[in-house]
Amino acid sequence: MGKTGVFFIGVSGYIATAVIAGALALKKGLSDRTGMVTELPHFNGLALAEPADMAFGGWDIRTGSPLESAVSLFKSAGLPSELLSAIEGGLIEVSPNICHGITTNCGRTIELLSADTATERAMTLEAQALKLRKDIAGFREKNSLDCVVVVNLASTEPPLEARPSHETPDGFEECVMEDRSEEVRASAIYAYAAILEGCPYINFTPSNALVPALVELARKNGVPVMGNDGKTGETLVKSALAPMFLYRNLEVLSWEGVNLLGNMDGRVLSDPENRESKIISKDGILHKVLGYAPHSRVRIDFVPSLDDVKTAWNFIHFRGFLGSRMTMQFIWQGYDSLLAAPLILDLVRLSDLSKRRGEGGPMTHLASFFKAPVGVDEHRYFKQAEMLFRYAEKAKESGVHT
Amino acid sequence: MGKTGVFFIGVSGYIATAVIAGALALKKGLSDRTGMVTELPHFNGLALAEPADMAFGGWDIRTGSPLESAVSLFKSAGLPSELLSAIEGGLIEVSPNICHGITTNCGRTIELLSADTATERAMTLEAQALKLRKDIAGFREKNSLDCVVVVNLASTEPPLEARPSHETPDGFEECVMEDRSEEVRASAIYAYAAILEGCPYINFTPSNALVPALVELARKNGVPVMGNDGKTGETLVKSALAPMFLYRNLEVLSWEGVNLLGNMDGRVLSDPENRESKIISKDGILHKVLGYAPHSRVRIDFVPSLDDVKTAWNFIHFRGFLGSRMTMQFIWQGYDSLLAAPLILDLVRLSDLSKRRGEGGPMTHLASFFKAPVGVDEHRYFKQAEMLFRYAEKAKESGVHT
Amino acid sequence: MGKTGVFFIGVSGYIATAVIAGALALKKGLSDRTGMVTELPHFNGLALAEPADMAFGGWDIRTGSPLESAVSLFKSAGLPSELLSAIEGGLIEVSPNICHGITTNCGRTIELLSADTATERAMTLEAQALKLRKDIAGFREKNSLDCVVVVNLASTEPPLEARPSHETPDGFEECVMEDRSEEVRASAIYAYAAILEGCPYINFTPSNALVPALVELARKNGVPVMGNDGKTGETLVKSALAPMFLYRNLEVLSWEGVNLLGNMDGRVLSDPENRESKIISKDGILHKVLGYAPHSRVRIDFVPSLDDVKTAWNFIHFRGFLGSRMTMQFIWQGYDSLLAAPLILDLVRLSDLSKRRGEGGPMTHLASFFKAPVGVDEHRYFKQAEMLFRYAEKAKESGVHT
Amino acid sequence: MGKTGVFFIGVSGYIATAVIAGALALKKGLSDRTGMVTELPHFNGLALAEPADMAFGGWDIRTGSPLESAVSLFKSAGLPSELLSAIEGGLIEVSPNICHGITTNCGRTIELLSADTATERAMTLEAQALKLRKDIAGFREKNSLDCVVVVNLASTEPPLEARPSHETPDGFEECVMEDRSEEVRASAIYAYAAILEGCPYINFTPSNALVPALVELARKNGVPVMGNDGKTGETLVKSALAPMFLYRNLEVLSWEGVNLLGNMDGRVLSDPENRESKIISKDGILHKVLGYAPHSRVRIDFVPSLDDVKTAWNFIHFRGFLGSRMTMQFIWQGYDSLLAAPLILDLVRLSDLSKRRGEGGPMTHLASFFKAPVGVDEHRYFKQAEMLFRYAEKAKESGVHT
């Protein structure tokens, strides 16, 4: 088994930083693997990439070194500074692997974050795709990597209306060649570049990166892809709890959710345009699990003082026997980045495995990791988890080419 | 398919009253079947007893008519008095089916509730068992019933130390014949009588009714039985949520639960001796689901003003990636009796079905209804629910003798 | 002491209905005075109007009898139907005292509720004011009332930009005479009519009824007035808790509030235009109590299934010693109308008292009842309560002309 | 104004450590005074001791240096390790001021914590008092202190039945001389020694230190004293909220409180004997504020994983108009030690001020700091705060001899 690299879109963000810091901590034996799904017994005996051996790099539109990002994350999440000191060297080594990203059509709020939008505005879509491919290839060669997984952790883009050019690989290619830049957003160009480079692509954001054209292209090219929108907190709980109401034949009347968060994710989502994408992927699951649509609402509110400590309150009003009305509430208080990071390591490992197993197109067995899993209608968390466990079982049986 | 009867231990309690009121409301078309699991599509096509056709009766140690109990329940649960008026006639018809119960060895708190403990104290265990059997037989004949299901809804008894006489049917019988009354509590004598009468026995309480000897006797006699301790609120949520932490490889550090309730159940559980049984069955599941035992505690506190509105707060402290510590809390506010009642109708239907299918011994497919399911180690709610759905599937395939 | 009448703007709403039902229940001895501030010992010895003796009437823009409103309220708030039966007669007697109201400039959401907007659109502002005065006068005469208190319980209007015509009594009168209807909304015309009729006016809503011109007119005419926006739940708690953080020198970083409600109030507030008024009055108090403005947000979300059961969640993030960050949350679940109703009885009693004491203009001693008290900068609840208690003390000392 | 010293009972505990760390941080300009009441504008112009200039020392029964304690506290409370490095020198300087404490009659749970109980068991009460006096005097001389304030932060002792010897100074002295050690516990001997040394004594614990005899002795000797049981979290909120229900004439039916904590305080309180003292002082205030005793219960549960992050859930069930039943809940999550530490600095400053002003006996103006304030029946937090502000006002007017 060769060496695996991870190339982040949004490498300076909290989640990417937590992934890198975590891998370095594992390397030093300073942390354990709590939170990593692929460390469950179900995966024993599968040849999976070792986080400690992974190389990291990626794009960002903001300036700032991995070390600076880590200082900020450690403060926000109350992580021990001894750990930071111990991994400082490793963080610095990531710097040469960082390239400037693109913000094509990402909306004003994201563009304002960018250190330089002038250069890319001068580039055609084709030129952008080429640049991104070169960035990936450079990372791969410099670090002698066997497989590079591209992971989208960038800020949420506004939703994108479906277009004919999103339907087929040829249509998409034509759109790129003709530089019809209003028809795509950055996340899709990244995905396009990754797929053409043969790199698995994980869309951990709600952005509309994996349009049907690119999923099809991935299938044709034998490149595994998956998304959308990592399921780390409120929606995870929702997908674990909603089936309980279903199986007990209790009628959910209303399910109201409020999310307070203060990190960069929260700042970008405080723009109603960008938030729209997120709310769509968060709110869809109730209907799909329950088979009917109760009154529901998902609020995402930016509360700067909270930084990375996401706090979600959910209020569930339900009807039982003899017309009785009852309630359940839950409050979730977690570090968004530290919940996401181990799952990213899982997704990289499993993408790398899929690649080696010669699988292309959507990795539907990864549905449990996403709020809006591509190609999967199952939203009950436990059913999704079982899909993953069954996949692991089969992979073990068939053996994995390393 | 003949007529089905339900004989409650604790017929004047809120749950039995809610079951009877519910069945009468269904008969009048004044309520729907929300909360009944057997109304899920999985059960379509199975011949199940119709609640509206069931006959109801049972034992109680308190005096008071079903109508009086209903007045009190309706007030506590805020149910509409129009409904009460509509079912008054039906409630009155239950009165002749009520017999005086026994409190043998139930502890002081329960004995104090009894209107008459003198008579039973004068009876040997054998005489008590005979009396109970006659009560059941009388109910069956008077109402021309094909099957009578005995459902234990009585107040929780203190735990009972295991004895050799609990091990084998012969040992238990000997204990009864020799009147060694300190070795059994009332719930087991009820179970013994029910099994000898060929009546399915459901232990919806944490009391130690289904000792191994009686489970074995049930198996030998072809009588379906199941328990223990109905899973209606906090523990239901626990068994739905705990697997989420397991599957995400998040370490539960502490899981603290507080239950506030004000009904008769709450009053009896305010006696530490009786509470002990409940806490054992509520607290066991974490260890079994997670595979390790986090710090956990279950408080049950009597708060008279709440009456039947159970309020539970759970605080879950868990550890994630890089040693991060996070929390989840939930608050459950529900009418205990109205959550339990539809499940009782389900259990009666499914016991009756098992009887007709010639099944004896523990109905392990009913695990999802119980906090401490007899003969089942699986505590993940969704796995338990699937066991039930698979059973329904098989029962449909094999056809049911009606 | 003569007889007191209460004339509601929004007489068919839940709050007015709860006031009337409450007064009737008191008359029959079927309820107690829990929730009425004027029943505290501080008011012993003051001659206050007896709720059981009050006459009720008012305007509404919807059709529907007081009895119909009561049926709906009793269901929503789970009140006993025996009580409803007992007061049916009294509710019917209110019907002849109901007049059709106006919706001038109230915004589309409110206008859509109106059974008839054609008639009033044909009327000039002057004609509207005259009609309203006649309605009041008719009520007073028919019921031989000494004092009529007008209480605004109508749906919240959108905010109204300040205009020169709001500044002085003459300016306002001119605006009415010249029919410049875009400069006023219905609530101010009601207030104008009430003041001209010598009737105390209570603005229990956030609508901008008590513009400076009308406060001045009230002062000149010796008519007591007060508002704005009854303080019944979330804001009450806020004004009780915020001083605690102030006095402990703990820095509030963020105070986020979410209100879920499903009654007519909630429906109208689901229109962002109308909600704006409410949020302004709810959100202002933190700054005034703390002396600085923490990050704060007040959400008001319409959740139809909740009907009158208002549920508010507040999340407070604060900073303590050594930069430590801590949180407090509260959850308030109350019947909005039943919280407001006894306060309305208090306000009527105290307005009537002020009238008899010859006081005109804003009754600043009533600040504790309002979210945005006219002419009062003090928002600490306990200080406001003490202002009221001191007023009662003085009123007792000076004696009251009855 | 001379130099002020603070001598802690329990100097190695989290609270004392937080006080010392805080004072050192202030000295270095690395923290602000958030959480210190005496920094409110009300105290401007009063000559108060400067924390940065205070000397610290005290007794403990456990071994371990201030630096070790700080390492543990900083980890538990997520404080930045940069700060710890900066104050390391200061912490080390405290070590020579630490003496071994006594555990006389403190119960098994506390005794088990002690590094050496043999020595003190061999000492008479008189000898113990002498030793403690010498410890104080040594600290005063070595550090050239003008005033030493003794602050009890030791683990909670079990309650102590009232005895005749607790009634008068002479009685108490006799009891000490006759070595009737079963009649006193350690906290009272500490208080006795402090008072005889002329040192103000603050009892921040619920232990029964300030028996009437010692309060009287303090009054006679002109030594200010105050207690009992610092009010930092749940009870603080309770005393701020309960008056709201009172002033709104809403009837509290039940007020249930659950406290989860994992620090040393929590460990000792997990012994029911010791907990008893705490619950008494926490639970008393409702009756005193409301004028009636609703159903109430205070649970204190040890949850080791929480360490210093105290989490309290309170559930309030109340009755409003027309018999309606409503609820309020609050959740408090705070660092117990960091909430207490700034209040300790306040109490030291105000004790020192009282001493200079020649006041002896209970400092009743400090009621707002305590759950069970000595000699004060007022439990409404805001009234208590005003007592303090008025005292500050008067002190300013009269001037303070420095």
CATH assignment of the domain containing A247: 3.30.360.10
- Please check whether residues A52 and A168 belong to one and the same domain: yes
Q: How far is CA A270 from the centre of its chain?
A: 19
Angstroms from B54 CA to nearest CA on chain A: 17
- Please check whether residues B252 and B367 belong to one and the same domain: no
Domain boundary among D287, D308, D335: D335
Domain boundary among B286, B306, B335: B335
C39 in contact with D at a CB cutoff of 8 Å? yes
Instruction: Using an 8 Å CB-CB cutoff, list chain B residues near D256.
Output: 258, 260, 301, 303
Angstroms from A52 CA to nearest CA on chain B: 14
CATH assignment of the domain containing D81: 3.40.50.720
Phi/psi for A333 (5° steps) reads -125, 105
User: Cβ B325–D305 below 8 Å, yes or no?
Assistant: yes
Distance between CA atoms of B369 and B340, rounded to whole angstroms? 10
D253 in contact with B at a CB cutoff of 8 Å? yes
D303 in contact with B at a CB cutoff of 8 Å? yes
- Please check whether residues B160 and B210 belong to one and the same domain: yes
User: Cβ C81–B78 below 8 Å, yes or no?
Assistant: no
Q: What's the Rg (C-alpha) of chain C?
A: 21
Nearest chain D residue to C26 by CA distance is: D322
- Please check whether residues C213 and C318 belong to one and the same domain: no
- Please check whether residues A58 and A200 belong to one and the same domain: yes
User: Cβ D249–C35 below 8 Å, yes or no?
Assistant: yes
Confidence (pLDDT) at A174: 94
Confidence (pLDDT) at C76: 86
- Please check whether residues B209 and B117 belong to one and the same domain: yes
Average pLDDT of chain B, as a whole number:
92
- Please check whether residues A163 and A240 belong to one and the same domain: no
A82 in contact with D at a CB cutoff of 8 Å? yes
Taking CA atoms, C224 is separated from B56, C150, C198, C371, C381, in Å, by 64, 11, 9, 18, 22
Angstroms from C371 CA to nearest CA on chain D: 15
Question: Residue B337: helix, strand or coil by DSSP?
Answer: helix
Grade residue B281 by pLDDT with cuts at 50, 70 and 90.
Answer: low
CB of C386 closer than 8 Å to CB of C340: no
Confidence (pLDDT) at A112: 80
β-strand C98-100 against C55-60: which pairing, if any?
parallel
A386 in contact with B at a CB cutoff of 8 Å? no
D301 in contact with B at a CB cutoff of 8 Å? yes
Question: Residue B28: helix, strand or coil by DSSP?
Answer: coil
- Please check whether residues A166 and A252 belong to one and the same domain: no
pLDDT digits (tens, 9 = 90+) for D100-131: 999 888 888 778 887 777 777 789 999 999 99
Instruction: Using an 8 Å CB-CB cutoff, list chain A residues near C253.
Output: 305
Q: What angle do CA D92, D98, D102 make, to 5 degrees?
A: 150
Average pLDDT over residues B129-136: 96
Subunits with at least 3 CB pairs below 8 A relative to chain A?
B, C, D
| Test mutation, C48, C322, C325, chain D, max D CBs within 10 A | C322
Confidence (pLDDT) at B282: 66
Confidence (pLDDT) at B200: 98
Grade residue D282 by pLDDT with cuts at 50, 70 and 90.
Answer: low
| Test mutation, A73, A255, A322, chain B, max B CBs within 10 A | A322
| Test mutation, D84, D247, D321, D325, chain C, max C CBs within 10 A | D321
Which residues, 6 or more positions from A200, have their beta carbon under 8 angstroms from its beta carbon?
Answer: A147, A149, A150, A194, A223, A224, A225, A351, A352, A354, A355
| Test mutation, A292, A308, A315, chain C, max C CBs within 10 A | A315
Q: What angle do CA D47, D49, D52 make, to 5 degrees?
A: 135
| Test mutation, C34, C79, C81, C82, chain B, max B CBs within 10 A | C81
User: Cβ B256–D253 below 8 Å, yes or no?
Assistant: no
| Test mutation, D81, D305, D328, D333, chain A, max A CBs within 10 A | D81
Subunits with at least 3 CB pairs below 8 A relative to chain B?
A, C, D
Grade residue B283 by pLDDT with cuts at 50, 70 and 90.
Answer: low
pLDDT digits (tens, 9 = 90+) for C56-81: 999 998 888 899 999 999 988 888 88
Instruction: Using an 8 Å CB-CB cutoff, list chain C residues near B80.
Output: 75, 81
Per-residue confidence in pLDDT tens, chain A, 402 aa: 789 999 999 999 999 999 999 999 999 999 999 999 999 999 999 999 999 999 999 999 888 889 999 999 998 888 888 899 999 999 999 999 999 999 888 888 778 887 777 777 789 999 999 999 999 999 999 999 999 999 999 988 888 888 999 999 999 999 999 999 889 999 999 999 999 999 999 999 999 999 999 999 999 999 999 999 999 999 999 999 999 999 999 999 999 999 999 877 777 777 777 777 777 766 679 999 999 999 999 998 999 999 888 999 999 999 999 999 999 999 999 999 999 999 999 999 999 999 999 999 999 999 999 999 999 999 999 999 999 999 999 999 887 545
A244 in contact with B at a CB cutoff of 8 Å? yes
Domain count, chain D: 2
A254 in contact with C at a CB cutoff of 8 Å? yes
Nearest chain B residue to C79 by CA distance is: B78
Paired residues of D227 in beta bridges: D203
Average pLDDT over residues B359-372: 97
Size of interface B-D (CB pairs under 8 A): 59
Q: For residue B395, which amino acid is it?
A: A
- Please check whether residues C91 and C239 belong to one and the same domain: no
Domain boundary among B294, B320, B335: B335
Angstroms from C305 CA to nearest CA on chain A: 6
Distance between CA atoms of C252 and B311, rounded to whole angstroms? 30
> CB-CB: which of B78, B82, B331 is closest to C78?
B78
pLDDT digits (tens, 9 = 90+) for D333-384: 999 999 999 999 999 999 999 999 999 999 999 999 999 999 999 999 999 9
Which domain does B250 fall in, by range?
234-335
- Please check whether residues C203 and C249 belong to one and the same domain: no
Instruction: Using the predicted structure, report yes or no on whether residue D97 has a pLDDT greater than 90.
Output: yes
User: Cβ A324–B338 below 8 Å, yes or no?
Assistant: yes
Report the share of chain D in percent with pLDDT over 70.
98
Q: For residue A18, which amino acid is it?
A: A
> How crowded is residue C278: how many other Cβ atoms within 10 Å of its Cβ?
22
Complex-level ipTM beyond the 0.90 threshold: yes
C361 φψ region: left (φ > 0), alpha (ψ -120 to 50), beta (else):
left
Instruction: Using an 8 Å CB-CB cutoff, list chain A residues near D80.
Output: 75, 81
Confidence (pLDDT) at A338: 96
- State which of B273-287, C31-45, C294-308 shows the largest mean pLDDT: C31-45
Tokens representing residue D342 in the block: 């700034």
B24 in contact with A at a CB cutoff of 8 Å? no
Instruction: Using an 8 Å CB-CB cutoff, list chain B residues near A324.
Output: 77-79, 334-335, 338
A75 in contact with D at a CB cutoff of 8 Å? yes
Instruction: Using an 8 Å CB-CB cutoff, list chain C residues near A325.
Output: 305
Taking CA atoms, B70 is separated from B67, B90, B97, B113, C17, in Å, by 5, 11, 16, 19, 29
B80 in contact with C at a CB cutoff of 8 Å? yes
CB of A52 closer than 8 Å to CB of A26: yes
- Please check whether residues A198 and A246 belong to one and the same domain: no
CB of D207 closer than 8 Å to CB of D184: no
Grade residue B400 by pLDDT with cuts at 50, 70 and 90.
Answer: low
Q: D203 preceded by cis ω (within 30°)?
A: no
Confidence (pLDDT) at D196: 97
Paired residues of D9 in beta bridges: D59, D152
Average pLDDT over residues C10-34: 95
CB of B369 closer than 8 Å to CB of B346: yes
Grade residue B114 by pLDDT with cuts at 50, 70 and 90.
Answer: confident
> CB-CB: which of D78, D81, D331 is closest to A82?
D81
User: Cβ D81–A81 below 8 Å, yes or no?
Assistant: yes
- Please check whether residues B183 and B305 belong to one and the same domain: no
Taking CA atoms, C159 is separated from B323, C104, C129, C184, C263, in Å, by 50, 14, 21, 11, 21
Angstroms from A163 CA to nearest CA on chain B: 37
Tokens representing residue A108 in the block: 């004003």
